[in-house]
Structures are given as structure tokens and as C-alpha cells.
Amino acid sequence: MKKTTSTQLTVGLAQVAPVWLQRDATLEKVTEYVAKAAADGCRLVAFGEALVPGYPFWVERTDGARFDSAVQKSLYAHYVAQGVDIDAGDLGPVCTVAKTKKIAVYLGVMERAADRGSHSLYCSMVYIDADGRIASVHRKLMPTYEERLVWAMGDGHGLRTHKLGAFTLGGLNCWENWLPLARASLYAQGEDLHVAIWPGSRRNTSDITRFIAREGRCYVMSVSGLMRASDIPAGLPQHELLTSTADALMADGGSCLADPSGEWILEPECGKERLRIATIDLSKVLEERQNLDVAGHYSRPDVTRLSVDRRRQATAEFSD
């Protein structure tokens, strides 16, 4: 195992496909990759958006906007049933391997949120620290386009950063990486390693990864999933419809890593299910912030400032 200095961090980008719409089987696959990343010297490993139990690829392919459709109802009911209930301990296996192997994890899940009634799904980015504790759950602020047919809108509660060695980590889901104020909320908390998670597409990662790196003068990991027609397991509701409308490749990956100057450390890679590893050094962040630090010497808080509400949204408050 390569020895790193105190300013370095070895990270893993796990570009994998889910066992689509099957929570427990997908979580088993996740734990295997977490253990593999730790064995390869990583102190952080990240997975794609909505990986557990999978992205809702059926919506745009099966007339997903048709109101009161029996087909859409059956698929949604299965999706919710396979969602991740964090309060119930569904992420326990991942937390256990993170604690055992002393590795931190960013994981994209479809959260079945008990605090919002348990029947709606939130696209959540979960950070599990190296002690196996769930340190933050960021619910995607605004689902994109057809995602709004199956996902609820999140809140600012998870707009948080975390210390890992010399680095300060933060992250966002998919297209909310395009939101300037969401990015600014993380920069303001000292973020120098940004983790962007995606369902899987090079067209999403190839430009924005380097742009965020140059804007924030930070490292940026874009971690994507894969999804192939062959990943649709038998036994799902509407299985014949799902397989007949699926493309051979619905998510091609495109995971990549850029340094704080915007140059590639790992260029986008498509079509392969694999763990990619790199070691990054905080000294590069310090060098690049000599001429631009958007939350520091190049900011003007006396002119423009950001207000962030990090309270968890709730539909009721009870006083007993």
C-alpha cells in the first residue's frame, strides 16, 4: 500500500451499476466496493446518484406523465418499497464496513424519509464517515425534469462539509451542481474537495467537472453509475414493458477527477464497471487559491452575501 503524506488523500471513484430496483442486492454490491476501495488504500470512496436501488429510467420511456396510470402506479409502489429507510437501519451494512475498514463513503440513495411520512422518495446524497456514522443526508434541492414525477423536492439541511484528513469535503447531486448558490454554500464552508454524483453520462461530467474545479480552485470528483438493459432483473413489475423500452446502454458512466487548475487527473471513462483510484494533495489547492479564492480574498461579503436555511423541512410541529 502506497504511503501518503499528511496533505494527501487517496480517493476511489466507484463506477458501478445497481442491481436495478433491488435495494438489498445493490447494497451488498456497494459494501463489496467499499471494502475493495479500502483494501486499495482509499480513505474515501464515492458512488453515483440514486444508485440504491437505482435511477428511474422507466419514466421517460413508458409515458411516465400519464395521470392515474396503473402502470406508473405499480412501478412507483415498487420503487418506494425498495427505497432506503435510513432511520430503520437500511444503510447498516455500509456503515459497518466503513467503520471496520476506516473509510469514508459518499453514496447516492433513494431515501424513503420517515420524517415525511415514508411514502415519498428523496434523491439523497449520504455521507458516512470513517467511524461508520451517517454524518449528513443531503436531499436533492430540485429534481430535474421527469425526475419530478417520482422524486420530492429536498431542503438545505444537508448542505454541509466534512473534514477528512487535510481536506474539507462537500457534495451535490447531478444537475444541482449547476446551481451557483448551492456551490457557493459549500465553498463558504471551506470545501476543497467537491464530490458530484450522477446517474451516469459523460455529457454531464465532461464540462462541469473542470468548470467547478476552476471556479472553486478545488478538486472535483464526478462519480457516475452505469445502467444497461442487461441490468434489468427478472421479477420486476412491468418487466416486459421495461425490457422492451430500454436502450442497450442508458447510463454510460463518465466518472472523472479534475485538479484545482481544471486539468484532468482522471479523464471521463465510459462503459466500464470499475473502481478508479487517485491520490490528491492539498498543496495544489493552496497554490491555485493564490489568485482566486471565491470564499476568501476574492469575495466581497460587504456587497453580496448568501443566506442558507439548513433546517430540515417538516409538514407539522407537535407540542405534547
User: What would the pLDDT profile of 249-274 be if each residue is shown by its tens digit?
Assistant: 999 999 999 999 999 999 999 999 99
Cell numbers found for residue 132: 461508520
- pLDDT score for 65: 93
Answer yes or no: 123 catalytic: no
Answer yes or no: 49 catalytic: yes
Active-site residue identified among 29, 42, 49, 111: 49
For 40-90, the pLDDT digits (tens) are: 999 999 999 999 999 999 999 999 999 999 999 999 999 999 999 999 999
For 3-43, the pLDDT digits (tens) are: 778 999 999 999 999 999 999 999 999 999 999 999 999 99
User: Measured between alpha carbons, how far is 99 from 241 in angstroms, rounded to an integer?
Assistant: 41
Segment 288-294 mean pLDDT: 97
For 116-165, the pLDDT digits (tens) are: 999 999 999 999 999 999 999 999 999 999 999 999 999 999 999 999 99
pLDDT band at 2 (very low <50, low <70, confident <90, very high): low
Q: Which fold has domain 8-288?
A: Nitrilase/N-carbamoyl-D-aminoacid amidohydrolase (3.60.110)
User: Measured between alpha carbons, how far is 177 from 159 in angstroms, rounded to an integer?
Assistant: 12
What phi and psi values does residue 10 have, to the nearest 5 degrees? -95, 125
Answer yes or no: 42 catalytic: no
- pLDDT score for 5: 82
Q: What is the pTM of this model?
A: 0.96
Please, how many CA atoms are within 13 Å of residue 174, restricted to the half-sphere of its CB? 23
- pLDDT score for 1: 54
Segment 210-218 mean pLDDT: 98
For 236-247, the pLDDT digits (tens) are: 999 999 999 999
User: Measured between alpha carbons, how far is 222 from 236 in angstroms, rounded to an integer?
Assistant: 30
Residue 231 in this model has a pLDDT that exceeds 70: yes
Domain boundaries, the chain: 8-288
Active-site residue identified among 29, 101, 140, 284: 140
Segment 297-302 mean pLDDT: 96
Q: Kindly list the strands in the beta sheet with 104-112, ordered across the sheet, starting from the edge strand earlier in the chain.
A: 134-139, 121-128, 104-112, 44-46, 8-15, 274-281
Active-site residue identified among 42, 95, 123, 174: 174
Segment 96-101 mean pLDDT: 98
What residue type is assigned to position 182 of the chain? A
